[in-house]
């Protein structure tokens, strides 16, 4: 074993960063044995130096992150500060100055991953980011390495623990959205500002990363169709249950049947209770990968939190340090297919549409005519009503999303339709 330690700089020492530092210290001997050399925490960049950080030598703390990553003796920079800037500049500077990088920054990778990969390639360094997608769940490395010889056609999963917790509570306890969100916040699953989670931004960034790796093409967060869960109601949950389904916020990345394009989307959807994703409870994540030769693979586990995310960071750290010792680099960006990302309107989906309608003869015929005119086939219809008011629930067969959206707009114009109570896609069949 080499005795000279590999030096690691840590950018950020919050929930994840502090766990990374703790594991590096408490598992130092094991890490050294697995890597083939000891690893040494050489500096920790923070915004508030006065905060007490148990187990970390105060002499390592600095507020000058730029100076830390510019040190010529740093072998690996671990970035867990998040956001676009200064993270982007710090990562690029680290690569320029000879350090490989391990990051958990999904927002930055989804927005500017191509430029970061280009910088890593230019300077002959590693850029690893297992922790950016699904916490402790090994997903990036299986896609980049284990399935490198296969053709991935679809990635479908729950990649945000906060929204899964909220939807699970709405389903199992009958709570409304606000009540379930309050419980998630009290338990620490939701941030004080939960927008990134509940509006789907977090899941969309992860979908962009997964689609890019799975399909060997460049997908940015702006290419991902995004809908959050804030409009999901108790009535939607009840309707799903009546169909033998539950509601999940899904990230779906697909290769077109002809292989000429890909799609990436995040939205709530009804899935059958028989589907394995339906049983994913509370704040857990699970992802299905469908490959041509391997078939269906499922990855399941905690998708967030200090310890789970730190586990993924340390896994990358070990891999990058091994590469350093072997004077090699791991897999970089693979974007050779250059496939276009199709808009949501071209995606073929199913819809569950709940309408408030007048309770009188001919309403169903009018509604059916609208579907026929838009070229959308109806799978099932349920109708009930009294005292002049009624509800009509229509589940469609698969059709282009644009046609389904056009159908909804046409239905709104009918005099007999008092309102569209809910619209939700149906997946997993």
336, two tokens:
């050779």
* DSSP structural state of residue 142: I
- Helix, coil or strand: residue 303: coil
pLDDT at 388: 62
71, two tokens:
């040190």
pLDDT at 120: 98
Question: Measured between alpha carbons, how far is residue 271 from residues 176, 279, 404 in Å?
Answer: 20, 10, 18
Asked whether the CA dihedral 305, 311, 315, 321 is positive or negative, the reply is positive
Give me the residue label for tokens 């980049």: 144
Strands 39-45 and 61-62: parallel
The C-alpha angle 65, 66, 68, rounded to 5 degrees, equals 65
Question: Measured between alpha carbons, how far is residue 200 from residues 190, 206, 256 in Å?
Answer: 13, 10, 23
Question: Measured between alpha carbons, how far is residue 425 from residues 12, 22, 182, 198, 381 in Å?
Answer: 39, 44, 26, 17, 15
Question: End-to-end CA distance of the chain, in Å?
Answer: 52
Sequential pLDDT tens for the chain (429 residues): 778 999 999 999 999 999 999 999 999 999 999 999 999 999 999 999 988 888 899 999 999 999 999 999 999 999 999 999 999 999 999 999 999 999 999 999 999 999 999 999 999 999 999 999 988 899 999 999 999 999 999 999 999 999 999 999 999 999 999 999 999 999 888 888 999 999 999 999 999 999 999 999 999 999 999 999 999 999 899 989 988 999 999 999 999 999 999 999 999 999 999 999 999 999 999 999 999 999 999 999 988 788 999 999 999 999 999 999 999 999 999 999 999 999 999 999 999 999 999 888 889 999 999 999 999 999 999 887 656 678 899 999 999 999 999 999 999 999 999 998 889 999 986
Question: What does the buried/exposed string (b/e) look like for 379-399 if buried means 16 or more CB atoms within 10 Å of the residue's CB?
Answer: eeeeeeeeeeebbbbbbbebb
pLDDT at 168: 96
The predicted model scores a pTM of: 0.94
Phi-psi region of 70 (alpha: psi -120 to 50; beta: other; left: phi over 0): alpha
Q: What are 347-391's pLDDT values in tens digits?
A: 999 999 999 998 888 899 999 999 999 999 999 998 876 566 788
Residue 74 CB burial class (10 angstroms; 0-12, 13-18, ≥19): buried
| CB contact at 8 A, 80 and 20 | yes
Omega prior to 86 cis, within 30 of 0:
yes
| CB contact at 8 A, 203 and 159 | yes
The C-alpha angle 287, 177, 383, rounded to 5 degrees, equals 90
Q: Is 122 a catalytic residue?
A: no
Catalytic choice (106, 169, 206, 248) = 206
């Amino acid at each position: 074993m080499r005795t000279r330690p590999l030096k690691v700089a840590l950018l950020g020492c919050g929930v994840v960063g502090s766990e990374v530092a703790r594991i590096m210290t408490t598992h130092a001997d094991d890490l050294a044995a697995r890597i083939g050399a000891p690893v040494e925490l050489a500096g920790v960049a923070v915004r508030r130096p006065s905060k007490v950080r148990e187990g970390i030598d105060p002499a390592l703390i600095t507020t000058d992150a730029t100076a830390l990553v510019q040190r010529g003796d740093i072998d690996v920079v671990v970035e867990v500060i998040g956001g676009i800037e200064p993270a982007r500049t710090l990562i690029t500077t680290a690569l320029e100055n000879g350090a490989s990088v391990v990051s958990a920054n999904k927002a930055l990778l989804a927005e500017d991953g191509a430029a970061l990969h280009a910088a890593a390639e230019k300077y002959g360094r590693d850029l690893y980011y297992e922790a950016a997608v699904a916490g402790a769940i090994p997903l990036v490395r299986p896609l980049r390495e284990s399935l490198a010889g296969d053709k991935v056609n679809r990635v479908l999963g729950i990649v945000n623990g906060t929204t899964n917790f909220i939807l699970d509570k709405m389903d199992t306890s009958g709570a409304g959205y606000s009540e379930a969100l309050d419980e998630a916040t009290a338990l620490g699953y939701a941030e004080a500002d939960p927008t990134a989670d509940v509006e789907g931004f977090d899941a969309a960034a992860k979908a962009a990363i997964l689609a890019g790796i799975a399909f060997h093409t460049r997908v940015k967060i702006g290419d991902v169709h995004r809908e959050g869960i804030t409009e999901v109601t108790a009535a939607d949950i009840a309707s799903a249950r009546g169909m033998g389904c539950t509601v999940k916020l899904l990230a779906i990345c697909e290769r077109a049947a002809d292989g000429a394009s890909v799609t990436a989307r995040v939205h709530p959807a009804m899935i059958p209770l028989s589907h394995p994703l339906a049983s994913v409870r509370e704040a857990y994540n699970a992802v299905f990968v469908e490959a041509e030769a391997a078939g269906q693979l499922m990855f399941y586990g905690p998708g967030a939190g200090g310890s789970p995310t730190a586990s993924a960071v340390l896994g990358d750290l070990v891999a990058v340090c091994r590469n350093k010792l072997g004077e090699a680099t791991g897999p970089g960006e693979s974007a050779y297919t250059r496939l276009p990302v199709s808009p949501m309107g071209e995606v073929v989906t199913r819809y569950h549409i709940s309408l408030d309608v007048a309770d009188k003869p001919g309403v169903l015929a009018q509604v059916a005519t609208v579907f026929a005119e838009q070229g959308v086939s109806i799978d099932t219809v349920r109708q009930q009503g009294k005292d002049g008011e009624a509800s009509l629930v229509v589940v469609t067969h698969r059709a282009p999303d644009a046609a389904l959206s056009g159908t909804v707009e046409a239905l709104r114009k009918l005099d007999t339709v008092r309102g569209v109570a809910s619209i939700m896609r149906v997946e997993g069949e």
